Every structure is written in structure tokens, then in C-alpha cells.
Structure 1
Amino acid sequence: VFKIWGVSYQNALNLVTAIFLVFLLTIYLVCKVKFGFRTAILTMVASSVSLLQLTWNSMVYTEGVFGIAVGIVVLVSMKAEKNLRYGIWAILGISCSLVYYVRPNGILLFAGLPAFMVLKKWQKREWILPLLAVTVAMICILPWFLRNFINFGNPFHIASNAGLLRGGMQDPLNLTFAEFIKRNGLLFPFLALFKGSVNFFRDLNFFEHGLHIIPIAGLITGALRRVSFYSKFAVAGFLLSFLFVCYVSYNYSWAGIRYFAPFLPFVYGYGIYNLLLLFDSILKRFKYYKTAAAGFSILLLIIPVYYPHRYYEREIPRKRVENREYQKKHAEILKQMLGKDSCYLASSAMAGMAYQSPFRCISIHEYFDTSYVKSVFEKFNPGALILTTEDTSCVYIKQIVETIEKSGNKIDLVDTLRNYLYYRILSP
């Protein structure tokens, strides 16, 4: 996209918007194939107004891409369960590899295949089909495994172990499994899973403003009534992915809710379908049940926008002290420093304040190198830099600041607000 139309904010916005729209269409298609038109349209509209989906799909394009890949896997798995042919199972393996290429935790869908074989209670001679899917998937991602092995000596390398081998933020990033167990004990993973699940549902409640209770109630109802999910493979893959994000949420609650966000619309679709079944069975006793069912459907759509002043506010508090007065002061400082169409650089610790001013924010991260700094100034010419006091002791952030200054720019400290430092960047 950037090669054809150039690097700009507008092109970036167009890209993430287009991906989100395709994701919504994928949600509609999967739900329509399994549950019909009513469930599909309700799930798609509910996803389009979900604060959780809007937040991540407007910031990071990979969320929508991952959701599209998950939708394709679910769609193919529904077909594969009804068709015991090698070809469709090979396609399932290819689609699973696409999920992994978008994000490594997609490999949990592979692990769902053995669990699927148990759930399906197939005869042994039929187990060759899911094994074929796993084999094809592994062959498809073999180039990535080779890349990891050549560069890191480990085909399954994930940067900093994805934070999974940390008992707390004080632990080093690259502990081995043996070191991790020695520091934290054998029971720690189970404790982290429990505490992480609490963090996950806390964040889910924040993003969805409690409205997730509606489809989850339908999910529980459907499970008790043994209404089939999309496929048994999807049951296993989704469940393993859910356990993974709950564990991740122990240290990184933002990551847990983010990584499961692409799965949630399909989970909600199942819940909405069961609620519609329940209301249909109740309302059929009344003369005007179709009118009542239509009214209920409309109600599901208008609930999220019943209080838009709260539902759509882009407030992601990082600390309790970041109240509205604090956010207002933050915006005022930026207005004094920047021109109307200017933008600013900020460390990843400032992500929670990115929506509290009308100015564009370009994030710098402690894991990035400095090679992109020159391009940032050529394309966007930021007028300010915001760091935290903790950032000033980070070696990588220091290197980025030094690169900015070596390019001829002057950085002056203009203001401070709690632990945030506001610098004006003066171009040569």
C-alpha cells in the first residue's frame, strides 16, 4: 500500500479501515453459514460498534488480519468435518499456517487438532485426516522455522519468549523453562492462569462496558443445551487460545484481551444465536412473536449506543491518577507546543494518552532500533517528544534521542506533568 500510494496518515487509516471491513464481512459470512442471516447481521453490527474491536482495529492492522485468518480456518473446519476428503483437510492445514504467520499464538490451532480427534471420537483409521492437516500446516511454515533456526538457533523462537516465562515484571525476559520453574515453583503457572483470567474479564468488562454479558449468557445457555459450536476443531482451538490469553493476562493484561479480540466476534455469534433460539421458543407462544423478536433484535443493536458519551470515549487509563483534569492538562501542553497540523513522538508508555489530544502520535518503542528515525522526520516532521522519567534510563530510548539530535534537531524540555517529560523538537 505504502509502495503504491506513499507513506501518509491517510493511507494508513485507509488500510486499517479496509482490513476491518473485510474482517466484519468474514464475521458475517462465517455466522451466516453456521447460524443464518439474523445471527450473522446482529453479530456483524455488534462487532462494528464494539469499543474493543474499534480500539485495536484502528490502531494495529494485524488484529483484523488475524481475525480474517481465524474466520477462514473456522469456515474450512466446518466444511472439513462434513467432508472426509484429503483435499479439504489439506486446505485446513494451509489456512492454519496463515494464522501462525500473522501471529505465533496461532499455532494453538494446530494443537487443537489432536484435541479435536478426541472430541470427535473417530476410529483410528480416520485420524489420518487431522494428522494430514497438521503435516501440511507444518510444511507451510517450515520457511519461518528455518529462518528462526538460522538467526536464533531455535526454530520455535519467539522474542523474549512472548513474556510467558516471567513470574513478574521483575523477572528477566529470557529465562529458560528450568530457570523459570526454579524461580517461581511448579504451581505458579496454575496460579498465573487463575489470576490472569480475572485480569482478562476485568479488561473485557472495561472495553465492552459490561455488554459482553449478553452474548456470553447465550454461550452458557448453548453449552448447557449442547448446541453445536462452529466445529469441534474450533471448540478445541478456541479453548486453548483462551487459556493462553488468560495466562498472558497475568503479566500483560492488555495483551490478553488484545490477542483474543479476533476470536470474540465468533464467540459472540454463537451466544447471540442461542439467545435468539431461546427467545423464539418463548415468543412463539404469543401471537405477535415475530414483531417481538424483531424488537429484541433492534434492542441488541441500540444498546451499545444508548450512552455514547461513555461507550465511545477513548480512555485507556494506565494509572488511577490519570483523571480528566490530568488528561485536559496533557492536551493543553501539546496545544502550546504544536501547530495545527503537527504531530509528536511518544514512548510506548504514553499509549494510554494517545487519544486525549487532537494531534497525531507516532509511537517509539524500546524494542525498536534507530533505523526508522530518519524516515519519520522526512515523512512527518514531528514537533514534540514525550517520555516518562523511566524512559530516560532506557538504553534504547537514549539511542533514539541521540539519533534525533545527531540529525541536527534540537530537543528542549518544555514542561513536566507527573512522571511525563514534554520536549519541543526544533528542526534545523
Structure 2
Amino acid sequence: MRKISYPAQDAWADLTTRPTKNLEELEPGIRETFRLVQEQGDAALLELARKYDKVNLQELQVSAAEIKAAEAQVSIELKESILQAYSNIQLFHTAQAEPVTQTETMPGVTCWRKSVAIGKVGLYIPGGTAPLFSTLLMLGVPARIAGCPEVVLCTPPSADGTVHPAILYVASILGISKVVKAGGAQAIAAMAFGTESVPAVDKIFGPGNQYVTVAKQLVNKYGVAIDLPAGPSEVMVIADDSANPAFVAADLLSQAEHGADSQVVVLTNSPEFLEKVEQELQVQLELLPRKEFAMKALSNSLGILFQTVDEMIGFSNLYAPEHLILSIAEFGNVLDSITNAGSVFLGNYSPESAGDYASGTNHTLPTNGYARAYSGVSLDSFVKKITFQYITPAGLQNIGNTIEVMAEAEGLQAHKNAVSIRLKEVTNV
């Protein structure tokens, strides 16, 4: 971890740079993948699985028998944990549903809005070094609550051609039967353009590596909606002397173990505390099965000293972290000052892992500074908001002149006439 002491404010922007590749450099290869999938369909997916996943697949779609068999491979303890997480996620996202409220903006003019489920959604679930069945819960639960008629799941196969049983178990309890063995940019292309086994969808969800992130951004240009640009994971911890160094180190490592391109950052106003965190990192790192991933991520990570909590909040808002942990004594005093973050965890006993798995909030969040403009996935992500309005003859008389004057001022005579012709009939009646 690189240590920086009391940086001047004009140096802050440079410190927010993530350790990622130039994403534009990835585009030519991804466009070639798109071309292959568009031209060859399933054949391209099978060939790319051989190339990237080192597996010779006979079938792309997971069979009903495979899904059923997976249930027996998941321990009772894990099933119970998944069902508890499912319940919490469902409760939190169900509460996000908005009732239809009609508003009479003026006498005789009534407007309202209602949510309508997106027809076809595609879920991408990473499965490489860490099979993220928790992400399937985060995406599948709100999709189910929203009532999306068709849900397609793409996830990369393991070397033996199977999909992790926990992913298939979660798919089964969510009622997702269309599960396709495809990963990376080719999976995004398949869901965007369609193949023999993968129907084209209206919106694609799910995190992934930088190739998946760029692929999602590119299909967006083809008119396929995406949830958000969700790339390598990141966490920022703001801590003072009231924090526990072991807790903070554990939180940093929980994100560092995702992969070498993850970034973790700790901000503190205590040099002594930062030293203790560094010591704890070394102790805990040695115990991790994914030590190599975490070590590479830590080499790109930062420990920054500031004078005050206000400065730390200011830097955090500029950085716009995916996950923000406030391990400070008076966190309640700064909540209104937080303007850019994907998800915030308060106090010493709110680990980021809780949000990743089971507290109920969604863990599909904006990374790489996109929290300045994007929200994390929610129930709203799976619906469209359609507005309605009903105007009575009396209502048209009330609002008609306003429309006519505005339309004429913009030089749009037909707009004015659409009102005027109706007003004449109303008046004659």
C-alpha cells in the first residue's frame, strides 16, 4: 500500500485515478468478438469458450437435469444462508415499489406514472476465480419482484464444462430456467444480438472484469440498455482513532481479494492508526487463500493521511467510491455531506461484506468514479416508468391557451393547431 501524507487539494484529482487499463485499448478485440457472435451465433460462443475458458462444450444451455442435480451438491448450511439472504434482499427491494399516484395538475388535467417491467433482461454472473452466486440474488430478486417476463442468465463454465452448483441452485429458487454457459465479452454480445441459444434482451445487468465493462458500454451504443458501468471492485475506509485496525484491514482485504485490478483506500487523520492497519494487513494477508490476488491489489492501493474528517469526506466525494465505510466516532455528523458513493457502511460493526451478501441492499454498484452520476441496481432498474395523462374538455379549456402561446412562440404551428381545433369544438358544444 502506498502511503501519502497530507496531500494538497490540487493533488487530490490525480489520487483518484484507478489502476485500470486504458479501456479504449480493449475495444478492437471486443468488436471482433461482437462480429464473430453476430455472424456465427452459437458456433462463436463454443469456439470462444475453447479459447478463453479452455473447455470443449457440447451444449451451451444448462439442462434442467443439471439444475436439479446442483441442489444436492449445495450444503444445507449454504442453502439456509442463501434463503436468509434472499429474504432480506426481497424485503428491501419490495419496499422500493412505488404506488401509482394520480395528480391533478390543474382542474380537469390528471397525470400519473406507473412502473412496467422490462420484457427481456439478461443477467451476467462472473464465475471465473470466484463464482458470484450472491450477484445472482442481487439481480434475480428485483427482476422477479418487478415481474420481468423473460430472464436469461449467462455465466462462464469451469474447466470441466459445469456451472458452479450454488449458481444453479440460486437460479432454481428464482425460477430462472434459461442458463447459458458463456462468459466475458462474448456473453454480453450474445445477450445483445441474440444467438440460437441466447435470446436478444432489452437490458443487460451484472458486473465483470474490464472486458465485460467495455463490452457493456459498447452494446449500449447498439440500443441495448445496461444497468451501469460496473468494473473492478473498490472500497474506501474513512477511519479515526475510534476504529479497530483489525476490522479496517479485514475490510480492505475483503475487496483486495476480488482481483489484481481492485483498489482499496484508507483515509485517516492518525499516523499511528495507519501504521497499525498496515501491520494488520500483513498478518491477515498471510492467512488468505486468495493471497496472490490481494497482494497485487494492495500494490495499487492507498493509505492517505489528512488533517480533518471534513477533508477526508471531501476527498471521498471526489473519488466517488463503490463502497464507503465510515469507521469514525461521530459518523452521524457527516452523513449529509456524503454526495458521491455507491453504498455506505456506518460504524465499526457494519462490514462491507454484509452488503455484499445478506443485509438486503444491492451490491451491484457503480465503480471507477461512476458513483458521481449512477446509482446502484434497485427495483427501478428492472422497470420502465410510463406516464399517463387524461384531460377533460373543461381541462383543455383551462390549459389550452398556455399550450397555444408556448407553441406559437416556438414557431410550431401544428402543435398549436392540435389544441385550437379541439377548443373550437369544445366551445361550440
> Considering the TM-score relative to the shorter chain, is it more than 0.5?
no
Higher strand share: 2
Please give the TM-score of this superposition, normalised by the length of structure 1.
Answer: 0.24
Higher helix share: 1
Which one has more relative contact order, counting CA pairs under 8 Å at least 6 apart?
Answer: 2
Larger radius of gyration: 2
Please give the TM-score of this superposition, normalised by the length of structure 2.
Answer: 0.24
